Amino acid sequence: MSNSQYDELPRILVVDDEEAIREILADFLSLEGFYISTAKDGKDALEELSRSHYDIVLSDLKMPNMGGIELLETISHQSPRVVTVIMTGFGTVETAIDAMKRGAYDYIMKPFKMEEVVHVVQRGLEKRKLEVENLRLKEAVSLYEVSEAIAANLSRDEVLKTVTDAAIREIGADLVVVILRDQDGRYAERARSASSEFTNSAIGGVLSTDALDEFFKDDDIFLMREESGLRFFEIVPNGPPLRSLMVTKLGVAQRTLGYIAVCSFVAGKVFDEGQRKMMSIVSHRAAASIENARLYEDLKLTFSQTIEGFVNAIDKMDRYTAGHSEGVATYAQLLASRLELSQEEVEVVRQSALMHDIGKIGCSLNLNKRGRLSHAEYQVFKQHPKYGKEILDPIKFLAPIIPGVYLHHERWDGKGYPCGYRGEAIPLIARIISLADAYDAMTSQRAYRRPLTHKMASQEILDNAGSQFDPNLAKRFIEVLDEYRKRCISRNRSVPE
């Protein structure tokens, strides 16, 4: 297949019910270096147009079955890039002008001189060439924008949305379906989108993955202009017939991640080489981004598994405070979400809260003993924020959570440890965790006392706002806790009494 349809001879479709005229025009225009095909009426012409691409349609005005005006209107709707020229008998200039108002590029009066026909055809081709160049430029710009949007994304679903939107908007697809392979090698549909023209009607179908895998062993793209695509795409019964199908493989290295199918259900709307190239580039970009998104998800999973492992280690150190890490994380996340922090920042607060007591691992103490710690033991225990920092310091990707771990025992009045920082010199993350830590500790059972009620613990926090705690933060914390308790109670979830 040629690289571009535009490298071929200019293609002209001559439509006339008089055989003699068809033959004369075909002979003459062939000699002038054009590729010519003929049709005997509008209906015949539309069939030919749905099979092959043409640059210009030269059509008679009055024909049986379907006349020139109706043909013209259908072409301008279905294949707006095709240039149309109307041929009409003497005395019907008004009709010819009417045809031009409806989208015809020019008209030729019968009987015509051959030079005149060639002249009109050449001007039409010139116009089309300009249009094609404009279109290519437009396509290059939108392709660049789509590529950038795909590459800028680390979420698989957003990558897929960008791809389906681009296929509808830039390619003019009626339906786009994306299927992706899961870890077991099974395919599942991950995105589907239809153009506004079709959203309410039953178009669609199912991709046949076996046929696709077989075909795409040694190809990256498949473009069908006729019914032969049906072996890849089983359309819904009673729906409109499939007119054009383009399937691209989402491949990374030697692996197939999935397929993108782009469908047309409009007669005469057939995907061309330019659109094929565009989808090919979009698919390559999308495959790389989908793979990146997967790697990123894996990394996030590794990250949360690492944290879970640490949390288990902390809980094993001290049976009295098992579950404390989770509790502190829940409260810290509640407060962080209320402040104007980004989702990522809230997540850092949550992770830091989960790990805030990791340094207990470094304290050679029996934290499971009954009763309070002795003074000497307490001095060792006070080292845990510092040990926490030391444990996490070598793990670079945990760097953002260290300030919360290291400074969660600092106090607003500067009397905390290990640094004795005061007021806003204490990072926000540590001030948040300090509140969450105190509330969870007070409302939980300890070896030496019973849990405090919510009311008592809240009062204790408010009493210490401005000395131990950041006063504004303390107030907000009690507000979010009250709302949280109400939500939990209405859903029968357990909360401190």
Write out the residues near Fe ion by the rule CB under 5 A: 357
Amino acid at position 421, single letter: Y
Nearer to Fe ion, 303 or 381 (CB): 381
Is 249 strand, coil or helix? strand
Shortest Å distance, C-beta 451 to Fe ion: 18
Nearer to Fe ion, 60 or 357 (CB): 357
Shortest Å distance, C-beta 158 to Fe ion: 39
Report the residue number whose CB is nearest to Fe ion.
Answer: 357
The DSSP result for 450-481, as a single string, is PPPPHHHHHHHHHHTBTTTB-HHHHHHHHHHH
Is 180 strand, coil or helix? strand
The DSSP result for 89-143, as a single string, is -TT-HHHHHHHHHTT--EEEESS--HHHHHHHHHHHHHHHHHHHHHHHHHHHHHH
Nearer to Fe ion, 153 or 434 (CB): 434
Shortest Å distance, C-beta 409 to Fe ion: 6
Shortest Å distance, C-beta 361 to Fe ion: 12
Nearer to Fe ion, 169 or 446 (CB): 446
Shortest Å distance, C-beta 312 to Fe ion: 17
Nearer to Fe ion, 181 or 408 (CB): 408
Q: How far apart are CA 188 and CA 211, in angstroms?
A: 15
Judging by DSSP bridges, how do beta strands 56-60 and 83-88 pair with one another?
A: parallel
DSSP 8-state assignment for residue 208:
-
Is 244 strand, coil or helix? strand
Nearer to Fe ion, 187 or 381 (CB): 381
Nearer to Fe ion, 260 or 402 (CB): 402
Nearer to Fe ion, 3 or 445 (CB): 445
Shortest Å distance, C-beta 250 to Fe ion: 48
Shortest Å distance, C-beta 357 to Fe ion: 5
Q: Show Cβ contacts of residue 360 under 8 Å, excluding neighbours closer than 6 positions.
A: 314, 317, 318, 367, 381, 384, 387
Contact 251, 191 (CB under 8 A): no
Q: Show Cβ contacts of residue 16 under 8 Å, excluding neighbours closer than 6 positions.
A: 22, 25, 38, 40, 59, 60, 63, 87
Shortest Å distance, C-beta 469 to Fe ion: 15
Contact 98, 127 (CB under 8 A): no
Amino acid at position 306, single letter: T
